[in-house]
């Protein structure tokens, strides 16, 4: 019996070792494809194309520290595993990517590997960038060669143990990463073009889907929304759900938000406001409409259940706070006034499963992003200085459960945690 038990244990160990070996092989394997080059012949047009693509991908967000030189790195990316810092991607040969070739750059986007072959962390979203066409990758590379070179070493990541040990990435990649150019990479317009932009350079799923315990977005999860770790915001669903997604939005509503930061359905705030300011406002009208058309085609997934029903006493308190502080702009019926004072009724930022967006706006206020289409946005004043945690929780609960909204309550503890986290 003892020999049999030992034999079974050894077999299990052998199977586990074999499984780890297979995952590691999958994680390290190369995709030999270099992709069809199809480069734009005119060098100026190629650089201009790359400059546009850099905005579509919002590259500056992760590769430029606040107050720093463009693309010189240093921007902090908080995650549950520690803080990543965007590297220097200026053409400096010593500290940037000046010594990289076009093939090196393609390898980073397509395979998530450095020129030396070391594995890159998926905080750099090569899981989505792998879908970018070779022609677009080469144009992006050509543009980055034209930005001012900055001699600034990339800041080391600050990761908890054992996530700083890169060989573990091979196992992660074996589970969650398959390189491959998007089938719609050649599309120049229409729904296919929108799918290519959303799934590739736009990397929308990086925020608008939940992540598992290993930080991966499981295949097939769809755009069902997800908490943005470390920032206290929630990226709403982008599917056809009418309560939590884009089911009530028209294609023009979506395109307007992308281009201007405001729409009849709501305003881009928090991290999405930054995306609009630095990225999507620069989309061509055709690309904005293509993205909107694709998102309107995404079917509704089962919505996450609302939280516990609010207590009547809390709703009454919230109604009083709302009447005193909010109704003048957002209306007693929660329908708002045009795009300057957005509606709260049916607002997917309000009805999200996680109430962080509402709490953050009540505490800190804020503005829609200033864009070419909306250069002088209206702002919301902060109420964190004048409302207690109980009052903020009550008014957040009220707006999440009035005028047809049914999103569950907010607790004073959640407000206290939001205050501690900061804006």
Binding site residues, as ranges? 59, 62-63, 204, 207-208, 326, 329-330
* DSSP labels, 307-361: -PPPPHHHHHHHHHHHHHHTHHHH-TTS--BTTTB---TT-TTTSSSSTHHHHHH
Spatial distance between the Cα atoms of 413 and 329, rounded to a whole number of angstroms: 27
CA 268 from chain centre, in angstroms, equals 13
Phi, psi of 367, deg, nearest 5: -120, 150
Spatial distance between the Cα atoms of 96 and 71, rounded to a whole number of angstroms: 9
Q: Which of 347, 231, 358, 245 is nearest to 304 (CA)?
A: 245
- Helix (H) or strand (E) holding 252, with range, is helix 251-260
- Asked if 37 and 52 touch (Cβ cutoff 8 Å), the reply is no
List binding-site positions for heme c: 59, 62-63, 204, 207-208, 326, 329-330
Strand partners, 267: 262
Phi, psi of 119, deg, nearest 5: -80, 135
Give the tokens for residue 47: 């650089």
N-to-C CA span, the chain: 62
Strand partners, 263: 266
* DSSP labels, 128-194: HHTTS-HHHHHHHHHHHTTSPP---PPPPPEE-TTTT-TTHHHHHHHHH------TTTT--SHHHHH
Give the number of C-alpha atoms closer than 13 A to the C-alpha of residue 343, restricted to the C-beta side. Answer: 17
């Amino acid at each position: 019996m003892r020999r049999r038990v030992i034999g079974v244990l050894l077999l299990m160990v052998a199977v586990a070792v074999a499984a780890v070996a297979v995952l590691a092989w999958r994680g390290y394997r190369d995709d030999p494809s270099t992709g069809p080059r199809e480069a734009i012949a005119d060098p100026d047009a190629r650089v201009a194309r790359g400059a546009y693509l850099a905005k579509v991908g919002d590259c500056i967000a992760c590769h430029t520290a606040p107050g720093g030189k463009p693309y010189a790195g240093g921007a902090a990316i908080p995650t549950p595993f520690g803080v990543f810092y965007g590297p220097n991607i200026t053409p400096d040969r010593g500290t940037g990517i000046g010594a990289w070739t076009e093939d090196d750059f393609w390898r980073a986007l397509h395979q998530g590997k450095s020129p030396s072959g070391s594995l890159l962390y998926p905080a750099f979203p090569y899981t989505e960038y792998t879908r970018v066409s070779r022609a677009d990758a080469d144009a992006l590379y050509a543009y980055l060669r034209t930005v001012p070179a900055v001699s600034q070493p990339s800041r080391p990541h600050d990761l908890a143990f054992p996530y700083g040990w890169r060989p573990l990435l091979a196992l992660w990649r074996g589970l969650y990463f398959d390189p491959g150019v998007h089938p719609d990479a050649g599309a120049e317009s229409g729904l296919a073009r929108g799918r290519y932009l959303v799934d590739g350079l736009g990397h929308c799923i990086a925020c608008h889907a939940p992540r598992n315990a290993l930080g991966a977005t499981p295949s097939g999860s769809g755009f069902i929304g997800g908490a943005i770790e470390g920032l206290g915001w929630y990226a709403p669903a982008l599917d056809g759900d009418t309560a939590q997604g884009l089911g009530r939005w028209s294609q023009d509503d979506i395109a307007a938000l992308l281009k201007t930061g405001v729409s009849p359905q709501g305003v881009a705030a928090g991290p999405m406001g930054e995306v609009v300011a630095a990225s999507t406002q620069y989309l061509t009208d055709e690309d904005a409409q293509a993205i909107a058309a694709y998102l309107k085609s995404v079917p509704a997934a089962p919505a996450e259940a609302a939280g516990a029903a609010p207590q009547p006493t809390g709703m009454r308190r919230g109604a009083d706070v709302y009447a005193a502080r909010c109704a003048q702009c957002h209306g007693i019926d929660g329908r708002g006034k045009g795009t300057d004072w957005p509606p709260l009724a049916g607002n997917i930022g309000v009805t999200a499963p996680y109430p962080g967006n509402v709490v953050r706006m009540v505490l800190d206020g804020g503005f829609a992003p200033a864009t070419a289409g909306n250069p002088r946005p209206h702002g919301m004043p902060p109420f964190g200085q004048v409302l207690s945690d109980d009052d903020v929780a009550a008014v957040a609960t009220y707006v999440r459960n009035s005028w047809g909204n049914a999103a569950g309550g907010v607790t004073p503890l959640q407000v206290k945690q939001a205050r501690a986290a900061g804006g």
